[in-house]
């Protein structure tokens, strides 16, 4: 397989993470009143255990054993992002917190310029900005942005969560020699730290019934499980600018899924956001699209 073909394959694998993250809203709604840190502990716990069992079955368990620096990096990335995100939505209006947090795809595109072998071009930035504009429309409902006074802690936490995830994603490229299987260990430690936060900060409310437990398991299997493994592949070996811009499709697809399942209605705001995010992703992926045509002229 040529370098370009391998890069395209890794990018497509990374894009599956975006598709899985699109189910967060639907499965999250189905999980009931489970508090955030407990939900985080359950999801990362289930996904980490399943991944560990799979590695043991396939004889790859040794790949989880990594230097302490690598383990700290992965854990800080996964747990740090979720810790500051939950802190943000507890201390600021959720719409505002989500809006600030969703700067991370744009930052991934911008930060990628510091990576060796990567070149940030104008169409990458234009694509990411169009995606951001679409995300702003979705999150605000087209009603503009008005930040609330007295919510400084929440806003600061939202900025921090955004910086954590974008930095973790981009720096993963510098750890290309670390196998993706190591993410299983990151998940297990994140589950443990989330459990500590739950016990310290939350009242315990367990999932109730088959629908809520099924939603938790679905979260653990896909958006809070497999997605982190496929994202790792994309960040380490794929087109990082394309993945950053394409990440803005996650809130759009999540909204569309909620509409399909009766949790909302299709509006002009969603239509415009859909157009902006799709156009942005296509513009950002211009180079990859033309490369794929060269690789497969049929």
pLDDT of residue 236: 96
pLDDT of residue 291: 58
pLDDT tops 50 at residue 295 = no
Taking only the tens place, the pLDDT of each residue in 124-180 is 899 899 999 989 888 888 776 667 778 889 999 999 999 999 999 999 999 999 999
pLDDT tops 50 at residue 297 = no
pLDDT of residue 185: 97
pLDDT of residue 290: 62
For residues 40-69, give the mean pLDDT: 97
pLDDT of residue 99: 85
pLDDT of residue 293: 47
Taking only the tens place, the pLDDT of each residue in 7-25 is 999 999 999 999 999 999 8
Please report the DSSP string for 208-273 in residue order.
-HHHHHHHHHHHHHIIIIIHHHHHHHHHHHS-HHHHHHHTTHHHHHHHHHHHHTTS----HHHHHH
Taking only the tens place, the pLDDT of each residue in 69-124 is 999 999 999 999 999 999 999 898 888 888 888 899 999 999 998 888 887 889 88
pLDDT of residue 285: 84
pLDDT of residue 54: 97
- State how far the Cα of 157 lies from the Cα of 20, in Å rounded to an integer: 25
- State how far the Cα of 39 lies from the Cα of 27, in Å rounded to an integer: 11
Please, what's the b/e burial string for 23-41 (b: 16 or more CB within 10 A of its CB; e: otherwise)?
bbbbbbebbbebbbbbbbb
Average pLDDT over the chain, rounded to an integer: 91
Evaluate whether 190 touches 110 at the Cβ level (below 8 Å): no
Torsion on CA atoms 93, 99, 103, 105, rounded to nearest 10:
120
pLDDT of residue 298: 47
CB-based contacts of 265: which residues, under 8 Å, 6+ apart? 259
Taking only the tens place, the pLDDT of each residue in 219-244 is 999 999 999 999 999 999 999 999 99
- State how far the Cα of 131 lies from the Cα of 126, in Å rounded to an integer: 9
pLDDT of residue 1: 76
pLDDT of residue 294: 44
């Amino acid at each position: 397989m040529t370098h370009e073909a391998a890069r395209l394959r890794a990018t497509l694998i990374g894009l599956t993470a975006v598709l899985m993250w699109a189910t967060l809203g639907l499965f999250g709604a189905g999980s009931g009143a489970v508090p955030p840190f407990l939900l985080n502990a359950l999801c990362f716990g289930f996904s980490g255990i399943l991944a560990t069992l799979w590695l043991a079955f396939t004889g790859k368990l040794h790949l989880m054993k990594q230097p302490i620096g690598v383990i700290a990096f992965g854990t800080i990335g996964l747990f740090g992002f979720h810790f500051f995100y939950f802190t943000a939505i507890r201390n600021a209006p959720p719409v505002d917190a989500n809006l600030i947090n969703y700067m991370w795809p744009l930052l991934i595109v911008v930060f990628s310029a510091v990576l060796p072998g990567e070149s940030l071009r104008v169409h990458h930035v234009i694509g990411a900005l169009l995606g951001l504009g679409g995300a702003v429309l979705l999150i605000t409902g087209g009603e503009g942005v008005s930040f609330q006074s007295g919510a400084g802690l929440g806003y600061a936490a939202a900025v921090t969560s955004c910086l954590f995830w974008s930095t973790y994603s981009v720096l993963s490229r510098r750890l290309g020699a670390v196998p993706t299987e190591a993410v299983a260990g990151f998940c297990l430690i994140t589950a443990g730290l989330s459990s500590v936060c739950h016990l310290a900060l939350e009242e315990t409310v367990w999932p109730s019934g088959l629908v809520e437990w099924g939603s938790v398991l679905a979260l653990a299997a896909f958006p809070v499980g497999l997605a982190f493994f496929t994202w790792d592949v994309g960040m380490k070996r794929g087109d990082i600018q394309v993945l950053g811009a394409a990440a803005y499709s996650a809130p759009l697809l999540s909204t569309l899924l909620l509409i399909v399942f009766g949790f909302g209605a299709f509006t002009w705001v969603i239509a415009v956001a859909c157009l902006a995010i799709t156009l942005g992703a296509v513009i950002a992926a211009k180079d990859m699209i033309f490369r794929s045509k060269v690789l497969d002229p049929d």
